[in-house]
Amino acid sequence: MGAPVPTTAAELEAFFHASIPLTAAQGLVVAALSPTAVELRAPLAPNVNDKGCAFGGGLGSLLTLAAWTLPATALAREGLAAEVYIQDATQKYLAPVWGDLVASAELSEAAATEFLDAFRSKGKARLTVTSTIYYDGAPAATLEARFVALKPR
């Protein structure tokens, strides 16, 4: 993404809209952000498919951004310059989403500490994060992704 990653919800939302035009078109909102959790929201209307439910690509992009946010903001909070890339991921679509999209991800403090310590000592680190979109109280889509953080080129 190039630019420094913000660590507040409002600034992160503006960063996404400026850096990734798709997020503005999706209506993405950073609803909550803490050092160990994030919640992204988007209305169904701009993310709808031909069946009237959420488009898989829209679900996937919110899941990916929710998961990416945690390692990227963890590094930024520590003042560590890094680029965070997705290395691999597994997505599962479990049920149609007929309403607004809400993607969330959480990270344990132990996992965050291990990730940051590895980056400080090696100049690179990997972290696996799971994000979920719930609908009607049950998981509708999940993503398990491994991210790699590298010092900027």
Task: Reply yes or no on whether the pLDDT at 2 is more than 70.
Answer: no
Share of the chain above pLDDT 90, in %: 97
Average pLDDT of the residues in 15-32: 97
Task: Reply yes or no on whether the pLDDT at 1 is more than 60.
Answer: no
Average pLDDT of the residues in 42-49: 98
Q: Which CATH number fits domain 9-150: 3.30.565.10, 1.10.10.10, 3.10.129.10, 3.40.50.720?
A: 3.10.129.10
**Where is 146: in which H helix or E strand?**
strand 138-150
Domain boundaries of the chain, sorted by first residue = 9-150
Residues 80-94 have pLDDT tens digits of 999 999 999 999 999
Task: Reply yes or no on whether the pLDDT at 153 is more than 90.
Answer: no
Structure tokens at 51: 């069946």
